[in-house]
């Protein structure tokens, strides 16, 4: 049985492990292998500690637990998009351990993030997803998100990584 709760500082190491393993799995064949192999859970945990200490109530981070082990993580807050409406929230990230993909962990985290966004007064929840990440795009589409035409690109180890933006009117859940 998966339980979703707010993240605590005690979860940072486990969350960093989820983030690194999740990124390596999700972006295999999309981002340079050397970059993915160079990801470090220890370095991520150090950044998470700094971020967690200063994030305050502006960012909500959730963890999914199964049998007491952290198996997923999601983070949301106000939209970072330039020109975003005051009621726009953003699902900043969602990762699960690769071995639990398809078990409902991601759905539970997404549902909790959408509910949390509604509680915080957001009327719309947006997210950015790597354009070539077909698995993630299908997941978000099944959750009710739809591409809204927003596109941007960033670089990873000199390789362009295009992203597309998805949006969901809060209150519409899967």
* Residue pLDDT, tens place only, 78-133: 999 988 888 999 999 999 999 999 999 999 999 999 999 999 999 999 999 999 99
CATH tag, 2-123: 3.40.630.30
pLDDT over 90 for what percent of the chain? 88
Q: Residues of the chain with pLDDT > 70: what percent?
A: 98
Question: pLDDT by residue (tens digit) across 143-166?
Answer: 999 999 999 999 999 999 999 999
pLDDT surpasses 70 at 173: no
Place of tokens 């990584």: 161
Instruction: Name the pTM for this structure.
Output: 0.93
User: Can you give the residue ranges of every domain in the chain?
Assistant: 2-123
- In angstroms, the CA 55 to CA 61 distance is 10
For CA atoms 38, 66, 142, 124, the dihedral sign is negative
Containing H/E element for 125?
strand 124-130
Q: Cα separation of 54 and 49, whole Å?
A: 9
Task: Please give the Cα distance from 67 to 89 (Å, whole number).
Answer: 31
CA atoms within 13 A of residue 88's CA, in its CB half-sphere = 14
**pLDDT value for 106:** 97
Which of 82, 81, 76, 142 is CA-nearest to residue 107? 142
Q: Which range is least confidently modeled, 13-22, 32-41, 81-90?
A: 81-90
Lowest mean pLDDT among 50-54, 65-69, 84-88, 113-117: 50-54
């Amino acid at each position: 049985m998966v339980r979703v709760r707010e993240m605590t500082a005690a979860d940072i190491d486990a969350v960093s492990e989820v983030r690194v393993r999740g990124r390596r799995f999700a972006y295999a064949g999309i981002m340079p292998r050397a970059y993915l192999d160079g990801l470090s859970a220890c370095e991520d945990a150090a950044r998470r500690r700094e971020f967690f200490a200063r994030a305050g109530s502006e960012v909500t981070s959730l963890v999914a637990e199964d049998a007491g082990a952290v198996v997923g993580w999601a983070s949301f807050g106000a939209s970072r998009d330039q020109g975003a409406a005051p009621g726009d929230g953003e699902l900043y990230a969602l990762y699960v351990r690769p071995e639990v993909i398809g078990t409902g962990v991601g759905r539970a985290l997404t549902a909790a993030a959408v509910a949390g966004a509604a509680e915080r007064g957001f009327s719309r929840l947006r997210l950015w997803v790597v354009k070539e990440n077909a698995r993630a795009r299908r997941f978000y589409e099944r959750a009710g998100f739809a591409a809204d035409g927003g596109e941007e690109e960033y670089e990873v180890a000199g390789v362009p990584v295009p992203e597309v933006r998805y949006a969901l009117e809060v209150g519409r859940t899967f």
